[in-house]
Amino acid sequence: MTNWEDLHRRCMACQRCALADTRTNVVFEAGHRDAEVMFVGEGPGENEDLQGEPFVGRGGQLLDEMLSLIGLDRKKNFYITNIVKCRPPKNRDPLNTEQDACIGYLEEQIDLVRPKIMVCLGRIAAMRLIKPDFKITKEHGQWFQLDDGIWRTAIYHPAALLRDPDKRPDTFADLRAIRAKIREVCTRTY
Ligand code: URA
């Protein structure tokens, strides 16, 4: 079994894929390591790369505002990370080879946090963590429970909500369902 110190040290020094050559910072995590709710995005953008923290740009601000409406605060009661820990150049989608190189770190993070609920932010995370053919427009807000017993769902990526505000009402409905699931299965979040 892994421990946080060792995992963090290995991740910070990682050279498993070419994103290591262009990154400013490895973006490992934010929030609480003992949270019951975990959010997973796709990969750092420019601001995240510069600051070394996930979801700190415009999308991250929107995410924090939306999550505050259901009583979630990264300083208090959730954990957040990404599928890949280094910024893909020009914010392109992370390649499958890059995801494959990086996914072991996320698996260790999940083992250490042992969340009750995992929320995928966008299609890329949902395809990795729920099922490879996940369709975000059709399946956002649905719940899936895999062998590990963790409840999983996906919502639109905050960048998609910035591009297309018409998607926001669906996301607010999904967030209300997440709040209800937290009340159902979590004991320390609210
Ligand atoms: N988009 C993501 O998927 N993750 C981040 O950390 C920032 C933007």
Using the structure block, give the residue that is written with the tokens 């698996």. Answer: 107
Domains assigned to the chain: 4-184 (3.40.470.10)
- CB-neighbour burial class of residue 76 (10 A; exposed 0-12, middle 13-18, buried 19+): exposed
45 ligand 1 Cβ < 6 A:
yes
Report the atom number in ligand 1 closest to the C-alpha of 41.
3
With bands split at pLDDT 50, 70 and 90, how would you rate the model's confidence at 2?
confident
Q: What is the dihedral of CA 14, 20, 26, 27, to 10 degrees?
A: -110
Q: How far is the CA of 41 from the centre of ligand 1 (A)?
A: 5
- Dist CA 81 CA 86 (whole Å): 11
29 ligand 1 Cβ < 6 A:
no
Q: How far is the CA of 157 from the centre of ligand 1 (A)?
A: 9
Q: How far is the CA of 108 from the centre of ligand 1 (A)?
A: 19
For 45-97, the pLDDT digits (tens) are: 999 999 999 999 999 999 999 999 999 999 999 999 999 999 999 989 999 99
Q: How far is the CA of 127 from the centre of ligand 1 (A)?
A: 16
Angle, CA 53 vertex, CA 111 and CA 188 arms, to 5°: 45
- Dist CA 143 CA 131 (whole Å): 12
Report pTM.
0.98
With bands split at pLDDT 50, 70 and 90, how would you rate the model's confidence at 100?
very high
- CB-neighbour burial class of residue 105 (10 A; exposed 0-12, middle 13-18, buried 19+): buried
For 133-190, the pLDDT digits (tens) are: 999 999 999 999 999 999 999 999 999 999 999 999 999 999 999 999 999 999 999 9
